[in-house]
Amino acid sequence: MNDIDDYREIIGDKLFFNLFKRTRRLTSKAILNINSTAQGGGVAEILESLIILMNELGIYAGWRILHGNPDFFTITKKFHNALQGGSINLTEIKKKLYLKANQEFSVFTHINHDAVVIHDPQPLPLIKYYKKKQPWIWRCHIDLSNPHPELWHYLENFILRYDRIIVSSDKYKSEKLPVPQKVIAPAINPLSPKNMELSQQDITKYRKKYKILDDKPIMTQISRFDYLKDPLGVIEVFKKVKSHIDCRLVLCGSMAVDDPEGIKVYQQITKAAQNMIDKKDIIILNVENDILVNVLQRISNVIIQKSIKEGFGLTVSEALWKETPVVASNVGGIPLQITDGKNGYLVDPLDYDGFAEKIIYLLENPSEAERIGKKGKETVKEKFLITRLLLDYVDLLNEMI
């Protein structure tokens, strides 16, 4: 676990001073965060770092995980997809099971805190089952630019009870909602196992363990096994790149507890890889290992993020932090992190040729890849570190408590 002092060398004295100054009024205040999984995905990663830092600064920050059965998580995955523009058959049984999990959780989850932060749609209805004595904040991490109308109307029953909504981009704000909405971009922890500096010995050890040779260039996508991350599309892009440059593809993913579709996606990409002539050059890793992710983002020549929808995409900032060039979809929160041609490349998610063209260019022009990589790290240092995120939350909580 990192000490708050460890961040001073990275963020500088002025920001380090502000962390303590602006947190002073929140000392001994109790803040509760609730989401639906302790691991797998960016929300859990952010909370793990953020809550530790809050406590180090004197805030009594807590974290609880909503309990749910497989039916509940199947339903909330459908909600997740529909909020990002997908379709859904919103039946009464879905609503009933959705509310039942939240109501039961509320019975044994007592809230006597000074503020409550609810993350994403899964625990959204919890507010219905409490006598609200404190500010409640709904922090939605997904792309709300085009939510399914019927589902959104239903969820507004709960959203309208909240005091504030936090989204990741101006594009996700709803003009019709009377609830005040604030934009706070996610961030990475530069000192976590996923982002910390690694020795060459550690990198060599992991390459050997996972049989990742260094005999040819590597393009990598790191993300949950999810249809919206389009791993099958990544394989198609790889075929196009491979026809120009002999290279290797790594698809590294994991399965979040609250995402029942993960195993189906994993099986599909495994089958697609097996049917390829160059299947020996596709490495699929179903591993929950932060240091492995760190290694892959450092040894890859290019990181690809071919998402169809993306609330933010922490893997983009993670790769940029390691000075690895990124070619990513021009969707959701990714353009917040990448300025096309300056610190990475943005491509339409359906433009397979465009993805291949940019990747080939970076593989053939290592000096340009290095330049873009350095710009990427500068961007993350300026905008997307956990200490900036912490200050954004502190300022909001100071305002509301």
Q: Is residue 192 part of a domain?
A: no
Whether residue 105 sits in one domain with residue 20: yes
The angle at the Cα of 41, spanning 272 to 60, to the nearest 5 degrees, equals 170
How many residues comprise the chain?
401
Q: Which amino acid is at 382?
A: E
Whether residue 207 sits in one domain with residue 70: no
Pair 28, 55: CB distance under 8 Å: no
Whether residue 373 sits in one domain with residue 389: no
Whether residue 45 sits in one domain with residue 14: yes
As given in the structure block, the two tokens for residue 346 are 């943005």
Q: Is residue 195 part of a domain?
A: no
Whether residue 144 sits in one domain with residue 116: yes
Strands across the sheet containing 326-329: 282-286, 248-253, 218-222, 302-305, 326-329, 345-347
The enclosing domain of 69 has a CATH number of 3.40.50.2000
Whether residue 345 sits in one domain with residue 250: yes
Q: Is 143 exposed, middle or buried (0-12, 13-18, 19+ CB in 10 A)?
A: buried
Cross-strand partners of 90: none
Whether residue 68 sits in one domain with residue 167: yes
Whether residue 341 sits in one domain with residue 287: yes
Q: Is residue 349 part of a domain?
A: yes
Cross-strand partners of 40: none
Q: Is residue 368 part of a domain?
A: yes
Pair 27, 59: CB distance under 8 Å: yes
- Which H or E run includes 346? strand 345-347
- At residue 112, what are phi and psi to the nearest 5 degrees? -130, 35
Whether residue 317 sits in one domain with residue 223: yes
Q: Is residue 162 part of a domain?
A: yes
Q: Is residue 265 part of a domain?
A: yes
Query: Domain tally for the chain?
Result: 2
CA dist 143 and 158 (Å) reads 18
Domain carrying residue 232: 200-383
Pair 307, 332: CB distance under 8 Å: yes
| Ordered per-residue pLDDT tens for the chain, 401 residues | 678 999 999 999 999 999 999 999 999 999 999 999 888 778 999 999 999 999 999 999 999 999 999 999 999 999 999 999 999 999 999 999 999 999 999 999 999 999 999 999 999 999 999 999 999 999 999 999 999 999 999 999 999 999 999 999 999 999 999 999 999 999 999 999 999 999 999 999 999 999 999 999 999 999 989 899 999 999 999 999 999 999 999 999 987 666 777 888 889 899 988 877 677 899 999 988 999 999 999 999 999 999 999 999 999 999 999 999 999 999 999 999 999 999 999 999 999 999 999 999 999 999 999 999 999 999 999 999 999 999 999 999 999 99
